Each structure stands twice: as C-alpha cells, then as structure tokens.
Amino acid sequence: DGGITQSPKYLFRKEGQNVTLSCEQNLNHDAMYWYRQDPGQGLRLIYYSQIVNDFQKGDIAEGYSVSREKKESFPLTVTSAQKNPTAFYLCASSPSPDRGPEAFFGQGTRLTVV
Amino acid sequence: DQQVKQNSPSLSVQEGRISILNCDYTNSMFDYFLWYKKYPAEGPTFLISISSIKDKNEDGRFTVFLNKSAKHLSLHIVPSQPGDSAVYFCAASPMGTYKYIFGTGTRLKVLA
C-alpha cells in the first residue's frame, strides 16, 4: 500500500539530547514537509523539500535540521538547541504541482522531552 | 502575521443539519485552498480542495465555496454525521510554491 510512514509513534528524549524522527514515503512524491502541532494551535511548517538534496526553512526552523538524500526519505533531527521540543510532529508529501495540490500526511510522532 | 485564519475554535451542530466551517486569508497569491480533517493523535486526512479560479467544488457531502473578493472560503458538510466530529484545518498554497499554510483549526462536534 502507498503511503507515508513515520516512526516511532511515541518518542521520549532527555533534555540536551538530539533525536531523529523518521519519515518515509512510497508515493513517488517530489516534495516532503515537516510540521509541528502544539495544543490548540495549527500546523506550523518547520522545513520542506521540493527535490532531492534541496530543502528550505519553514516558519519555525530554529533548533531543527533535515536531510533529503533520497526521494523517499526526509528525516528530521530535533537538536538540543530547540527550546521547546515537546510536540506532535507531522510529516507530509505532495506530488509536483501539476499533478494535484494535495499533501498527504503520516500518522505523526509525539515527542516528549523528559 | 497569520495568513490563514479560522476564527471559530469550535462549532456544535445537530446530526443531520448543515455544518459550516469558515476560513479567511490575506494573501491574494494563493492558488489552491484545501480542507483537512484531523482526529487526535493522528495525521490530517485530505477532504477537498478548490482552485482559485473556481468558486465552488463539491464532493459528496462536502462542498467548498470560495469568495475571492472577500478572501473567504467555507466548507459545508450536509448532512452532518457524528463521525464528522474532528478538528478541521483550512490550508492554502501560494502560487508557484510547494508550501502549505494552515489555519489554527475548528473543532466540530456533531451531536447525535
């Protein structure tokens, strides 16, 4: 089945540690995204990538890093520089604009810093 | 500066009635608008989209209306069902980009 897989679903991290969230898609989509959701807030864009080996900062990129070495994969690293990392993280992908505007989301990873 | 706004954080509707969720935007360069439905601890699921060159798009019980002069769009769900209870996000995509800008969501509760 085609889709977007995020792992793990729940993640606990000690303060001061870096952690990497996985996102894989087999939809052959060009673009991939990372969003963050906090209680009572919308989805805020962290990073996005339109093509392999290229990515752009979103609205809240500070304290995060990404890589796009393969079309299928877009891992997000939450570094110790991120001041408030506890949140629900969502990965998404979309085809090129001429093949439709919809982005499709994974099931999310809930990160808790303890 | 929030470019996509959903000013109603919550809405309650009786089963069988119409649900109307609203969204306002400020950027006239958006060329696609989308609605997503989200359950707690899950990823959003795509519901329906509309191009900026249209004023209406319909898919089953879901209809999206776009009023470009007012920079306003709305999602109509009719008839509303208890399974529609979720948070609904409006999103917009600026022309020529892959970005999606989301509103803060409206929690819909459909009462049986």
The strand ranges marked E within B1-112 are 4-5, 10-14, 19-25, 30-38, 45-51, 56-59, 62-67, 72-77, 86-94, 101-102, 106-111
CB contact under 8 A, A31 and B43: no
Instruction: List the one residue out of B73, B93, B89, B71 whose CA is nearest residue B26.
Output: B71
Q: What is the pLDDT along chain A (114 residues), one digit of tens a residue?
A: 669 999 999 999 999 899 999 999 999 999 999 999 998 788 999 999 999 999 999 999 999 999 999 999 999 999 988 889 999 999 999 987 666 778 899 999 999 998
pLDDT at position B2? 78
pLDDT digits (tens, 9 = 90+) for B65-104: 999 999 999 999 999 999 999 999 999 988 777 788 999 9
Does B9 contact chain A (CB < 8 Å)? yes
A 69-98 residues with CB < 8 A to B: 88, 90, 92, 94, 97
Find where tokens 């949140």 sit: A87
pLDDT at position B1? 65
Question: Which of A102, A107, A111 is the best mutation test for B, with the most CBs of B within 10 A?
Answer: A102
Percent of chain B with pLDDT strictly greater than 70: 99
Dist CA B90 CA A55 (whole Å): 24
In chain A, what residues touch B105 (CB-CB under 8 Å)? Answer: 42
pLDDT digits (tens, 9 = 90+) for B19-66: 999 999 998 889 899 999 999 889 999 999 999 999 999 999 999 999
In chain A, what residues touch B100 (CB-CB under 8 Å)? Answer: 33, 45, 92, 94, 103
Find the largest Cα–Cα distance for chain A.
Answer: 44
Give phi and psi for B68, each to the nearest 5: -70, -35
Does B32 contact chain A (CB < 8 Å)? yes
